[in-house]
């Protein structure tokens, strides 16, 4: 069993305190994603706005319990993500900050690109986006249709469309994946400003995780300077599909932790709102609590493996698939404690059910994660026990 050290334990306790305030605005944010703009002074939102900014760019970061905590490791991110998502996963995804783009920038950007990107985030609360998924090809990088072509004057032009992009319509800067040549080494990522000519983003209607304001992005000849190509100092083999695999391995434990936080939120809700339960119901709900504890251990173990071996993401896939399924099961089970019509009389539970379903589609569905897990078992990279 994995136990948190004093540093991570302090971070967890602070995040849990911060998350309590998020519950009060959860339903309002669900109705109106712009609610995030008046929550920028919330301690959790402030912390999220500077997570994934490394020490050289933020040397005087506010310490938490006497420790520095910037989310640069998967273990740090899963501890924080579970607690904040237990308060409100919607606010976690709606907040400004480096988010998914920050993981790729840390992995691929050179010094000049990091100074530009982190400088933007430190100057003011800044939303970012990460654009890989496309309307016709999903997140299949091999089939990606967005193109990055020379403009004939030393720069580059982006043309294509992206869909289901978190914060796309409210972001100021982000990462766009595009193809600059045929073949598996032709995928590349560039930093893009949303104010550039030809960039257009619009929110799309969703039923869960509405705070994330998923968007459709159209790229109609968006100019990109050569210096914004991530990994320009690396070989094509180190900045294409390889970088994507490494990045998703690092991210998936955090997505699993968001699902776990939603499950725990539903569990806490029943405990707080139902008061006394029959012995049978209490024993049943306690078993559900132990399932949540068990999946937490799986996520922590997956995060520890990814931190030690970034290329080994098979357990991270297992954790994401298991946690997403748990979130759906626990939120639906919670309804049973409130009788018929509970989705109408318990709007918070209704929201948690919708959010849990939304996590299934983040960073690969359960089918993709199970395929990754199976490959790990076949290749002997995943312990069968």
Looking at residue 385, what is its pLDDT? 66
**28 phi, psi to nearest 5 deg:** -65, -45
Rounded Cα gap, residues 187 and 132, in angstroms: 10
Q: Which two tokens stand for residue 13?
A: 């306790």
User: What are residue 216's DSSP bridge partners?
Assistant: 202
Pick from 183, 312, 325: nearest CA to 256: 325
**pLDDT per residue as tens, the chain (385 positions):** 999 999 999 999 999 999 999 999 999 999 999 999 999 999 999 999 999 999 999 998 888 888 999 999 999 999 999 999 999 999 999 999 999 899 999 999 999 999 999 999 999 999 999 999 999 888 777 789 999 999 999 899 999 999 999 999 999 999 999 998 887 778 899 999 999 999 999 999 999 999 999 999 999 999 999 999 998 888 777 776 677 778 889 999 999 999 999 999 999 999 999 878 899 999 999 999 999 999 999 999 999 999 999 889 999 999 999 999 999 999 999 999 998 999 999 999 999 999 999 999 888 888 888 998 998 888 888 776 6
The separation between CA 189 and the C-alpha centre of its own chain, rounded to angstroms, equals 18
Looking at residue 365, what is its pLDDT? 87
Looking at residue 240, what is its pLDDT? 67
Rounded Cα gap, residues 228 and 23, in angstroms: 38
Rounded Cα gap, residues 306 and 303, in angstroms: 5
Looking at residue 186, what is its pLDDT? 85
Asked if 25 and 17 count as a contact pair (C-beta separation under 8 A), the reply is no
User: What are residue 187's DSSP bridge partners?
Assistant: 179
Looking at residue 177, what is its pLDDT? 93
Rounded Cα gap, residues 190 and 298, in angstroms: 34
For residue 301, how many C-alpha atoms fall within 13 Å in the half-sphere facing its CB? 16
Query: What would the DSSP string read from start to end of 139-151?
Result: T-GGG---EEEE-
Asked if 319 and 253 count as a contact pair (C-beta separation under 8 A), the reply is yes
Pick from 100, 105, 125: nearest CA to 47: 125
């Amino acid at each position: 069993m994995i136990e948190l050290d004093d540093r991570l334990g302090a971070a967890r306790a602070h995040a849990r305190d911060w998350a309590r305030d998020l519950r009060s605005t959860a339903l309002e944010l669900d109705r109106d994603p712009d609610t995030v703009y008046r929550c920028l002074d919330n301690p959790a939102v402030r912390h999220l706005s500077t997570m994934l900014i490394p020490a050289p760019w933020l040397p005087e970061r506010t310490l938490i319990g006497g420790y520095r905590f910037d989310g640069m490791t998967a273990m740090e991110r899963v501890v924080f993500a579970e607690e904040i998502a237990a308060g409100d996963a919607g606010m976690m995804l709606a907040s400004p900050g480096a988010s998914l783009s920050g993981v790729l920038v840390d992995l691929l950007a050179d010094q000049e690109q990091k100074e530009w990107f982190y400088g933007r985030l430190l100057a003011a609360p800044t939303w970012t986006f990460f654009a890989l998924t496309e309307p016709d090809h999903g997140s299949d990088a091999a089939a990606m249709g967005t193109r990055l072509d020379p403009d004939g004057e030393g720069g580059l032009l982006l043309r294509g469309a992206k869909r289901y992009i978190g914060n796309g319509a409210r972001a100021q800067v982000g990462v766009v994946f595009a193809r600059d040549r045929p073949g598996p080494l032709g995928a590349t990522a560039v930093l893009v400003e949303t104010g550039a000519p030809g960039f257009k983003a619009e929110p799309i209607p969703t039923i869960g995780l509405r705070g994330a304001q998923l968007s459709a992005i159209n790229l109609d000849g968006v100019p990109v300077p050569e210096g914004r190509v991530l990994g320009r100092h690396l070989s094509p083999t180190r900045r294409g599909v390889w970088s994507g695999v490494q990045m998703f391995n690092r991210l998936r434990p955090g997505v699993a932790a968001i699902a776990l936080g939603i499950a725990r939120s539903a569990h806490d809700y029943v405990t707080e709102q139902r008061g006394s339960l029959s012995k049978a119901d209490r024993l049943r709900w306690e078993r559900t609590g132990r399932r949540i504890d068990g999946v937490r251990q799986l996520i922590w173990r997956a995060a520890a493996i990814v931190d030690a071996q970034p290329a080994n993401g098979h357990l991270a896939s297992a954790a994401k698939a298991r946690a997403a399924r748990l979130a759906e099961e626990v939120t639906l089970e919670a309804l049973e404690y409130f009788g018929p019509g509970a989705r109408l009389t318990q709007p918070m539970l209704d929201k948690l059910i919708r959010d849990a379903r939304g996590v299934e589609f983040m960073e690969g569905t359960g089918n993709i994660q199970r395929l990754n897990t199976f490959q790990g078992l076949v290749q002997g990279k995943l312990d069968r026990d």
